[in-house]
Amino acid sequence: MTLEDKIYKDYVEALKSKNRPKSDFLSFIRAELKNSAIELKKDKLDDNEVLSALKKQKKRLEESYEMMQKSQRADILEGLKMELAILDEYLPRQLSDSELANLVEETVKELGASSIKDMGRVMKEILAKAGASADSKKVSEIVKAKLTNQ
């Protein structure tokens, strides 16, 4: 079963169980996926493309969450938390900071990277190894810290 099929199945279950917030959000996600498919001129997205669309949506939600925290809108924050929790069900588990640090350490040694000039090479290798389970922004921060402190 593809990730898109799983989202559809969960959407139908949410409708049947009358879980209105979840069904509404999954309906929105399905529309986003359909728009991505149209943009890519495809009938159906593969799992990597679905993951990419879900990651973009998660990033948008996290930015909205930060803005709502600053404006202290507790009513909206609850809805955003719920939506982020639903998205996390479909995204792969993210590596912890310590796991990322170990991966960076290992990759820097492997490639013999010694300065910030090697950052692009190191980033490319780490993101290839970790795939969707690593946030590129976090990886970038850790790699930059590692290569500037050598």
- DSSP output for 115-131: SGGGHHHHHHHHHHHHG
Q: How confident is the model at residue 150 (pLDDT cuts 50, 70, 90)?
A: low
Average pLDDT, the chain: 88
> What pLDDT score does 30 carry?
94
The verdict on domain 97-148 having CATH code 3.40.50.2000 is no
Q: How confident is the model over 4-54, as pLDDT tens digits?
A: 999 999 999 999 999 999 999 999 999 999 999 999 898 888 888 898 899
Q: Name residue, tokens 């990886």.
A: 139
Q: Name residue, tokens 């996600």.
A: 29
- Long-range contacts for 43-47 (Cβ within 8 Å, ≥24 apart)? 44/2, 44/4, 45/4, 46/2, 47/2, 47/3, 47/4
Q: Name residue, tokens 């996926």.
A: 33
> What pLDDT score does 117 carry?
85
What is the reported pTM? 0.72
Q: How confident is the model over 90-101, as pLDDT tens digits?
A: 988 888 888 888
Q: Where are the domains of the chain?
A: 3-90, 97-148
Q: Up-side HSE of residue 94: CA atoms within 13 Å toward CB?
A: 14
Query: Could you say which architecture CATH assigns to the domain 3-90?
Result: Orthogonal Bundle (1.10)
> What pLDDT score does 60 carry?
92
Which tokens belong to 46?
A: 């593969």
